[in-house]
Amino acid sequence: MGRAGRGADLSDPLAATRAAPAAQPLEGVVVIDFSQVMAGPYCTRLLAEMGAEVVKIEPPGGEAVRHRAPLYRGRSRYFGQLNAGKRSAVLDLTHEGGREAARALVAEADVLVENFRPGVMSRLGLAPRACRSTNPGLVYCSISGYGHEGRPDAQRPAVAAVVHAESGYDLAVLSYQREHADPAATGVFVADVLAGALALGGILAALRRRDRTGEGAHVDIALTDAMLSLLVEEIQTAQSDTPIAPPYRPVRTSDGFLMVGAFSPRHVVALAELLELPELAQDARFSGTRLRGHLGALLDLVETWTAGHSTAEAEAAIRANGVPCSRYRTAKDQLDDEALRSRGVLRTARDAAGAFTIVASAIRFAGEAAPPEAFDVHDLGTHTRDVLERLAVYEPARIDDLIARSAASDQRTKEFS
């Protein structure tokens, strides 16, 4: 992980308090990452940004996401977003020598993360019980579609889109749509990102307990559980006769749409003033806890005003009156947002093809300097020799033998100019 220094920013009144980076919270923590695609790599990406040494174990040829679009000069920026800041080691886990090397690394690790179906790691000789028998303090985190305990169908294959449908999430979203009868197509994999974030929380809690007791844990995260946790109001509504509250919906402007987030009587008063409808402030429908149940009627009134104004004009006026409001923005819009860059949400990563923007961890420690300026995305196998020598304590000749037998691979290239 690159650690470029930061110059003092004289325009920032808090610059002096951020002059020196604080110690990263997970410095010294070693994570062996067997995960692939999204949920697991998302979790370990967050661990890496907190200062953990994350060793990504990949098969010969690399995990599939290394070759997934969008590509730039043959390197996947999708992979880069999920794996910046990690080390790369290649072990063939179908080969006993590769499995033995993996077990040697796990024996010295603090955390193991995997997101295979239940049973896969057992067949590789890397089951939770086996790993923790040689390393009792190990925090072993499994991320799967349906969890490792409590379900007879836990070994079913799962992908985020299927979990969205199965969990009730997609139909809950549909229930708020006024003009659609079919569930929406999906491409934003909420289940993977949410499960990865919850896995981070489970790992940190297990590490905290290990600090007190010396005992590790098996953290068991299921994508279905994660998605169900999103349906806070919907699960309770399903147990009552109360109808689903009207949704927050887009309001039309003369050239687009806005989302107006009026949620308190104070916002009603502000909108009454803006719309020149003083009677709104006295309307019993929009007072106290009744407001949410009549939100649709309020937004209809707001739309009569916004329809005669441009998106920019309406957004500025509604915000000026203290009501949460935003135009709809694209992912590309975020790349040009200086506020996001100032906060450090948009950061720079680099691979052998060059520099690009990634989204950094949303976790911040107030008053502390930002993490490293640039996060490195390493080529496949860059650190195979290093981690086997340093962590597994393998002699160079033993590593040479593994490579000769194709149980490991050191495909180091000249990465960065």
Q: Which among 269, 300, 327 is the end of a domain?
A: 327
Q: Which among 301, 327, 353 is the end of a domain?
A: 327
Compute the distance between CA of residue 403 and CA of residue 385 in angstroms, rounded to an integer: 10
Task: Tell me what pLDDT residue 413 has.
Answer: 53
Task: Tell me what pLDDT residue 13 has.
Answer: 42
Encoding tokens for residue 317?
């006026």
Q: Whole domain around residue 100: which residue ranges?
A: 15-231+335-409
Task: Tell me what pLDDT residue 371 has.
Answer: 62
Task: Tell me what pLDDT residue 364 has.
Answer: 86
Q: Which among 327, 355, 376 is the end of a domain?
A: 327
Sign of CA dihedral 389, 394, 397, 401: negative
Compute the distance between CA of residue 62 and CA of residue 43 in angstroms, rounded to an integer: 19
Grouped pLDDT means (10 residues each) for the chain, 417 residues: 35 44 86 97 96 96 93 94 96 96 97 95 95 97 92 86 95 88 90 97 98 97 96 92 84 96 91 92 87 89 96 96 95 92 89 92 82 82 96 95 93 56
Q: Does residue 312 belong to any structural domain of this protein?
A: yes
Same domain, 126 and 264: no
For residue 112, what is the domain's CATH number?
3.40.50.10540
Compute the distance between CA of residue 322 and CA of residue 72 in angstroms, rounded to an integer: 43
For residue 403, the one-letter residue type is: I
Same domain, 320 and 340: no
Predicted TM-score of the model (pTM): 0.89
Phi-psi region of 74 (alpha: psi -120 to 50; beta: other; left: phi over 0): left
Same domain, 383 and 403: yes
SS3 sequence of 199-217: HHHHHHHHHHHHHHHCCCE
